[in-house]
């Protein structure tokens, strides 16, 4: 089970989270989000060890702007969190690792993922909301039983210290990682190191990591 911490935006907090050694750190490149990294200097991610994947999170952004920000911040991974097509994902695959995120609700039709096979490296299942992400809300994780492709996925949306026990009950063979965000914050974009430490301990024990 790998761990992604998403929605970081302040240099000292970024360093403190990196010291916990998550597998992925996510940076929101989407203006309407309170976690938008517009004020983050270009060299702010340079202190992150190379074995932690730096992930740029985009919502319906142009390919040119994504390319620009990959270069500015040194992202090795991108998370496409809007309505990006399979072809849009494919254009980046190979150059960087590509996560395609989907907003899931009770009506979610997993057959629409078929066209993304081989065009994204991972899927990320988040709770469907108007704001695209960072809602702190969970979806009914039972619906994951309808997912039958062999692309590994991250679980996202409202994961907190209070529901890690339920996360452990998910035994899907493609369940690859968890994504931690707003439920571990002191304010939008600033993570509680204490809460994250607790979560890392629990997850590592649960999955013998």
Ligand X SMILES: O=C(O)c1ccccc1NCC(=O)[C@H](O)[C@H](O)COP(=O)(O)O
- Token pair for 29: 């490149």
DSSP 61: -
Give the angle 68-69-71 at the CA atoms, nearest 5°.
70
Indicate the residue among 73 and 132 with the shorter CB distance to ligand X: 132
Residue 126 within binding range of ligand X, rule CB under 6 A:
yes
Q: How far is the CB of 161 from ligand X (least distance, A)?
A: 12
DSSP-assigned states of every residue in 108-149: --GGGGGGGTTT-SEEEEEE--TT-S-------GGGGGG--S
- The answer to whether 177 contacts ligand X (rule: CB under 6 A) is no
Q: How far is the CB of 183 from ligand X (least distance, A)?
A: 6
> Which range of residues in 15-23, 83-91, 141-149, 177-185 is near ligand X by CB under 6 A?
177-185
Residue 22 within binding range of ligand X, rule CB under 6 A: no
Among residues 170, 14, 182, the alpha carbon closest in space to that of 203 is found at 170
By CB under 6 A, name the one of 53, 54, 81, 191 that touches ligand X.
81
Q: Which of residues 33-62 bind ligand X (CB under 6 A)?
A: 33, 35, 57, 59
DSSP helix/strand/coil, 205? helix
Q: Which of 18, 120, 159, 199 binds ligand X (CB under 6 A)?
A: 159
Minimum distance from residue 207 beta carbon to ligand X (Å): 19
Q: Least distance (Å) from ligand X to the CB of residue 17? A: 13
Among 40, 157, 177, 199, contact with ligand X (rule: CB under 6 A): 157
Q: Can you point out the beta strands (E) in the chain?
A: 2-6, 24-28, 53-58, 77-80, 97-104, 122-127, 153-155, 175-180, 185-187, 190-191
Q: Kindly state the smallest distance separating residue 11's Cβ from ligand X, in Å.
A: 18
Match 């974009």 to its residue by tokens: 189
Q: Which is nearer to ligand X, 32 or 208 (CB)?
A: 32
CA dist., res. 55 & res. 78, Å (int): 5
Our finding on whether 183 is near ligand X (CB under 6 A) is yes
For binding to ligand X (CB under 6 A), which residues are involved? 6-7, 26, 28, 30, 33, 35, 57, 59, 81, 126, 132-136, 156-159, 179, 181-183
């Amino acid at each position: 089970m790998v761990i992604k911490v998403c929605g970081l935006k302040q240099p000292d907090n970024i360093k403190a989270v990196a010291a916990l050694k998550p597998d992925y750190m996510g940076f929101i490149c989407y203006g309407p989000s309170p976690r938008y990294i517009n004020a983050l200097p270009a060299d702010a991610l340079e202190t992150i060890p190379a074995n932690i994947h730096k992930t740029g999170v985009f919502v319906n952004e142009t390919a040119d702007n994504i390319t620009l920000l990959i270069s500015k911040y040194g992202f090795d991974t991108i998370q496409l969190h809007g309505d990006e097509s399979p072809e849009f994902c494919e254009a980046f695959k190979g150059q960087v690792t590509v996560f395609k995120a989907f907003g899931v609700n009770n009506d979610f039709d997993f057959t629409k993922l078929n066209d993304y096979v081989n065009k994204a490296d991972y899927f990320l299942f988040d709770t469907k909301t108007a704001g695209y992400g960072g809602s702190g809300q969970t979806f009914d994780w039972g619906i994951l039983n309808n997912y039958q492709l062999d692309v590994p996925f991250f679980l996202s949306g409202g994961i907190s210290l209070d529901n890690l026990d339920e996360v452990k009950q998910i035994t899907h063979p493609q369940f690859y990682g968890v994504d931690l965000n707003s439920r571990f914050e002191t304010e939008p974009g600033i993570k509680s190191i204490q809460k994250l430490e607790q979560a890392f301990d629990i997850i590592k024990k649960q999955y013998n990591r």
